[in-house]
Chain A
């Protein structure tokens, strides 16, 4: 006997029914913590880099920063 599946039922199962198993790599608690710490360190380093660029720009330009044609 051949069973014919209901296309509407199939659609519901595929798109609205049970969620599929998570794809990709599942990080452990330790890996997540390490990644977060590394991300914070990179953010701080980039922030420090921006501050250095800003300060050196001010020092290099000095008062001339105000004497440009508007």
Chain B
């Protein structure tokens, strides 16, 4: 990587550039899954404490995004999808992004620890460290298993949300972690199938680049076959109602059908693109249904009393 710290001209970076450094789209998914973790947890969280926890998690996710962009500026400049990011465009230097990311990381972790609880803060700190050091600095450039192991960072937010509400960890948030963990590989590999040239040019050893198209399609199917039943487990283990279970089974079946189409696809990438798009909807629907299930349980439980 090249870390350009010195700048000849004073900065022209606007607020929008700094917001872009925080990867707002990734951040929105992180906040949503953390919100579900927070709300499905037993007990009552004061809204102000809950919102503070979510704010800290959002800022922590933004910090991880900025640090990732600071380190990956050389790769980003070579890929079409990322060439328009603030550092490759020359709006922000890598040094500025690193400083911004570290400041946000420190503020978010310390604030979560002081205002909410220590367990949640330690988990947030671990997540940022894992994403930046283990995934970005180490795995991303060295192994095709990068997004499998690195996916753990993206899977932790519901556990942080749960920890913010309860001060601990239980089986249910671990299930949510596992769902996102097994969702990440088919999601990213579907994308990397039609972005393989980009990754190859940047020297990132994504699965299609290293093991080929065919093996990637096989792995997508394997992970989806593991993911679909996992999505139903909150119902099977009694954490969610039958409505959730049936809906999770239905969207899981769609995921498997799409993965099968990706497996047999020979020409073009229509199925991969469809799989990538639907995988985002799948995760959103699963977590939204879990939230609706828990909220309706609370409402109906309240009226039954």
Contact = CB atoms under 8 A, between A and B. Distances in A.
Contacts of B11: 31, 34-35, 38
Q: Chain A contact residues: over half helix, strand or loop, or mixed?
A: helix
Interface residues of B, number: 16
A25 interface: yes
Nearest to B16: A37
B188 to A, nearest CB: 32
A27 B52 CA distance: 38
Nearest to B104: A45
Interface residues of A, number: 17
Interface in B93-133: 107, 111, 115
Interface string B45-67: 01011001001000000000000
Given A38-B18, A53-B115, A56-B115, A25 B10 contact: yes
A37 B15 contact: yes
B12 interface: yes
A59 B14 contact: no
Contacts of B14: 34, 37-38
B13 A38 contact: yes
A37 B15 CA distance: 6
Contacts of B46: 59
B15 A38 contact: yes
Nearest to A26: B10
A25 B9 CA distance: 9
Interface in B22-66: 46, 48-49, 52, 55
Contacts of A59: 46, 48-49
Given A49-B111, A52-B111, 13 more contacts: A27-B10, A30-B12, A31-B10, A31-B11, A34-B12, A37-B14, A38-B13, A55-B52, A56-B49, A56-B52, A59-B48, A59-B49, A60-B115
